[in-house]
Structure 1
Amino acid sequence: MTTFRFSLITPSYKPDFERCQLLCRSIEKFAQTAINHYIVVDRQDLALFRQLQGAQTHIVTKEEIVPWWIKRLPRVNAWLNFRGLPIRGWILQQIIKLAMAETITDEVLVFIDSDVFFIRPFNLEDIFIQDDKVRLFRIAQRSPFPEYEKTAIELLGIPAIPSNKYIGQIVSWKRDNVLKLHRHIEAVSGKHWIAAVASHWHLSEYVLYGAFVDYILQEQAGHYYDEGAYCLGYWKDVPLSKPQLEEFCQRIQPEHIAVMVSAKAGMTPDDYATSIEEAAYVTNS
């Protein structure tokens, strides 16, 4: 039986600091095994986020991860790219996730946004490993994003692919597969993989990795598929009222180990954390 080491990876920024702080507290409270947690922020936010640094919580900057030919532009959410067009902040964040495999050595990368927090004890080995294979979230024939699939097809050099959904909360990848993905993109494009990825305006890192696993690596990927939702999320663009929060809490199920409340809900962590934790406690009993 293989023993896997896990790294949680959380991109964040100053407006989400309190949410990220709640996430860190929940990991410390509920994680049943040792986990390295990497929080990736802009250099300008480093001093603020260093408050969260600990024995297993590491704060790294985007500037440390990207190559020298990508530089942040002042006062805008974009990056100068000396090998192509400027890179929007949203695309850069996805490049950062793909690049983390070159920064860390743990075998399994688990991506979790800073607006998520854990609500009950969890063991990543139990959740993400079956028969020495790593969980890959996938719902067959459910993708609503054809533009992301088109980008994956071009970067991977493959024909049209079935429409699968790989986008979710708490997504796990294998580090060695990500490194293989880098090399494959470079072989197809003839460019550094970051330059190739950055040349696209519509990108999903989850769709790109999922398509690579499904149509290039296949049985050699070391993944098993799972449609389970371990995180209950509030995604709506409208503020969350107190009655709506109560209704949301009633939707928490025993299989949910975490909850995501978007900043668009118009609530601070102090507004919702206690209610959600109490509801989770009820589902435990």
Structure 2
Amino acid sequence: MTPIATTTSSAASLALATLSYGPDYPRCQLLVESVRQLSQAPVQHYIIVDQRDYSMFKALANPSTEILTVESLLPSWIRRVPLVNRAWLSCKTLPIRNWVLQQLVKLSFARCASETITVFVDSDVAFIRPFDLTPWARQDQTRLFRVPEFYSADFEPLYRAAYRLLGLEGYRYGMARPNYIGNLISWQQSNVVALCDRLEQVGGRPWLETLARSKTLSEYILYGVFVDQVLGEAAGHSYDWSPLCHEYWRPQPLDARQLAEFFAAARPEHIAVMISAKAGIAPDRYRSYLERLRVESLSRQHQEPLPPLWA
């Protein structure tokens, strides 16, 4: 992993970052194939897996795909406990839940990335249309997924935690707030560095240690609240909530007809699809749909430009 970038160039560079693990290998394989086939600009794709899964995933490595380990992005005081799957051992805090640790890894990667923009791509996502940097970076502005008015009681602890960690006042229960959680989420590397600095100023200890003590956390909400309420216009983000990804989230599988209808519903502005791994649908059941959409998109690309993703 390269150290924190020090370049002052305004030219955007893009890293795709995917956290994955053994059971998701077939889905991650589809994702890597789609990036290789459809990326229209230099894009480095980083697959981040536990050390115990590295030997499996290293087969996906190529000049534009690098396999990293979770352990390489964490300090020595955080380690996986053998035979324990739901938490990691910490010498400075209570054991860290897997869900929280994944978010620490995302922040650690984006903070250290040499690329100016990190786009997080789940391993159950696959691209279906040609893409370059323009969905995420235009005219020195980086896209930040942000739904202006949103409310879910399930998100209240996540917003409360973000306000506390950032030292912000004004949190009120039951209020509609912007939502920053979605797929293909893009962050600016310089803002992640500033976020970590803020966490250390407020918490009085290294940022990783502060977050490792959290019982609940949303990295996307934490970053979004920081951009909105601390950095403001200086963040260099443009807000957008148009979907880039056609998604299926339910934990129930789809039959053949439903699967065909799902892919037929993909709109021109969707550059990717996501079928949640929790749906229990074997990737081989929809590989042909992905391939057909890619072929159709590439053939149309030579006849007419792709629809704009931003207004």
TM-score scaled by length of structure 2: 0.88
Q: Distance in 2 between matches of 1:151 and 1:274?
A: 43
Check conservation: 1:250, 1:279, Cα contact below 8 A: no
Instruction: Please give the secondary structure, in 1, of the residue aligned with 2:119.
Output: strand
Question: 1:58-207 residue pairs with structure 2 within 5 A?
Answer: 58-77=66-85, 78-124=87-133, 126-144=134-152, 145-161=155-171, 163-207=177-221
Report deviation, 1:278. Answer: 2.8
Question: 1:196-275 residue pairs with structure 2 within 5 A?
Answer: 196-275=210-289
Q: Distance in 2 between matches of 1:108 and 1:43?
A: 25
Q: Distance in 2 between matches of 1:275 and 1:32?
A: 21
Deviations 1:20-65 (A, max 9, x none): 1110000000000111111100000001110011111111101111
Please, which moves more after superposition, 206-215 or 154-163?
154-163
Amino acid at match of 1:5: S
Q: Distance in 2 between matches of 1:255 and 1:75?
A: 44
Amino acid at match of 1:51: A
Please, which moves more after superposition, 239-248 or 217-226?
239-248
- Count of residue correspondences: 284
**Once superposed, which parts of structure 1, at least 4 consecutive aligned residues long, lie more than 4 Å away?**
279-285
1:57 equivalent in alignment to 2:88: no
Instruction: Please give the secondary structure, in 2, of the residue aligned with 1:98.
Output: helix
Q: Cα–Cα, structure 1 residues 179 and 143, in superposed 2: closer, same or farther, change >3 Å?
A: farther
Q: Distance in 2 between matches of 1:74 and 1:65?
A: 19
Unmatched tracts of structure 2, length 5 or more:
1-8, 301-311
Check conservation: 2:203, 2:210, Cα contact below 8 A: yes
Report deviation, 1:281. Answer: 5.5
Amino acid at match of 2:196: H
What percentage of aligned pairs have identical amino acids? 43
Q: Distance in 2 between matches of 1:70 and 1:89?
A: 12
TM-score scaled by length of structure 1: 0.95
Aligned counterpart for 2:35 among listed residues 27, 31, 34: 27
Alignment partner, residue 14 of structure 2: 6
Please, which moves more after superposition, 204-213 or 233-242?
233-242
Unmatched tracts of structure 1, length 5 or more:
none
Q: Distance in 1 between matches of 2:137 and 2:293?
A: 28
Report deviation, 1:114. Answer: 0.5
